[in-house]
Amino acid sequence: MAKVRAAVVGGGIIGLAVARELLHRIDGLELTLFEKETRVAAHQTGHNSGVVHAGLYYTPGSLKARLCLRGVTLLRQYAQEKGVRYEECGKVVIAHDSSEIARMNAIFERAVSNGVPDVRLLDGGAIRDIEPHARGVAAIHSPRTAIIDYVAVAEALAGDVGAAGGRVRLGTEVVGLESRAREAVVTTSRGTESFDLVVTCAGLHSDRVAVLSGESRSPRVVPFSGDYFLLQPERSSLVKGLIYPVPDPRYPFLGVHLTKRIDGRIMLGPNAFLALGREAYTRRDWSVRDTASAIGFPGFWRFARGNVAAAVREARTVLSAEAFVREAQKYVPDVCRADVTRGPRGIRAQAMNADGSLEDDFVITGAHRVIHVRNAPSPGATSSLAIAEYVVDEALARATG
């Protein structure tokens, strides 16, 4: 019997989880994972806040809601198995004033519908029992929301792939992908190979890789940068866990919040503004191709016209560290500008449709021999092991359908 040959494109946490799942599910599988960088977890996996989301916000029944809850369980178990640090530091979602209470209550009802464990409502006084320096009129407390080192998880997954006989080919960029009747042909910077099944998990470049195989260019990835500030270590006691605002429907992005990292440092942020490159991790980075792709996309301008107020808010925090800190002070008044230093930057692979709407849920497309993970925003890392289960189920069903 001929062996099944499979390839995964992308060495972030989702691609690695998919590779591991394929090796577990298909006996005798010959698997190759292609990653264009010289290390795994080089992009979104290695530039996020490290939060393990409990599933508060997501539409009941959506892929996000279903796979986040399953993903938390799998991720916690995997961290224990591999000795990766995992801390249930808890999260409060704070209503800053009475105008936000109705929206906060709606999130609480959604969290209950999604089966988020141990979630409860707090009045203003009870907030200080959880976060002594935080202020607000009411809050949701999610004690099981956690933090983790996602790079360590990705490295453990890569180790599992290698131990199971898979090949992780770093420094190998996929430049061509063709789905044929009996095989899928992958062309890389090092040559061409044929496979029975290909799953792409290309993150910031997911749309471009999908187009290689004849898929639609929509949804288009439009990159948004997110800047963080770090509290000075001696001021870390101002925050015990995770302090978030109530989402405002006027804005497509959450806004500045305060997040404990697994190393104990406290991050403020992120904001969100159009990035000048899909890998523009410093203010000096710029990609002509990526910028032209974003501003030449009609969907971006439709999105921009509908979100002028959001752009103004985010621009203030991009241009002024003081404005950035003022957003955090709404929830922790004791934070001041002198307490913070500029921290890392992440890039969000925001999938956007031609009408300017944002893709909110996970998006899996493709058929037969080639499957694409087109959109896996937060809680993508949290859900990675569950996304892998789902994607492999889909891939096997389509390959035999």
Tokens standing for residue 88: 């249930």
3.30.2080.10, 3.50.50.60, 3.40.50.2000, 3.40.50.2300: which CATH number matches 5-46+151-219+360-400? 3.50.50.60
pLDDT tens profile 107-158: 999 999 999 999 999 999 999 999 999 999 999 999 999 999 999 999 999 9
| 381, 13 Cβ separation under 8 angstroms | yes
Q: What pLDDT score was predicted for residue 401? A: 54
Give start-end residues of each CATH 3.50.50.60 domain in the chain: 5-46+151-219+360-400
pLDDT tens profile 240-271: 999 999 999 888 899 999 999 999 999 999 99
Q: What whole-number distance in Å separates Cα of residue 325 and Cα of residue 330?
A: 9
3.30.1300.10, 3.30.300.30, 3.30.9.10, 1.20.58.1000: which CATH number matches 53-148+222-352? 3.30.9.10
Q: What whole-number distance in Å separates Cα of residue 121 and Cα of residue 123?
A: 7
Residue 380: name the closest of 112, 154, 156, 161 by CA.
154
Residue 217 CB-half CA count within 13 A: 7
Beta bridge partners, 141, equal 92, 120
Give start-end residues of each CATH 3.30.9.10 domain in the chain: 53-148+222-352
Q: What angle do CA 30, 38, 201 make, to 5 degrees?
A: 55
Does the pLDDT at position 311 exceed 70?
Answer: yes
- Pairing type for strands 273-274 and 340-352 reads unpaired
Q: How many CB atoms lie within 10 A of CB 214?
A: 11
> Residue for token digits 């942020």?
269
Does the pLDDT at position 60 exceed 50?
Answer: yes
* One-letter amino acid for residue 360 of the chain: D
The residue ranges of DSSP E strands in 96-196, in sequence order, are: 120-123, 138-142, 146-148, 167-169, 174-179, 184-188, 191-195
pLDDT tens profile 192-230: 999 999 999 999 999 999 999 999 999 999 999 999 999
Q: What pLDDT score was predicted for residue 1? A: 45
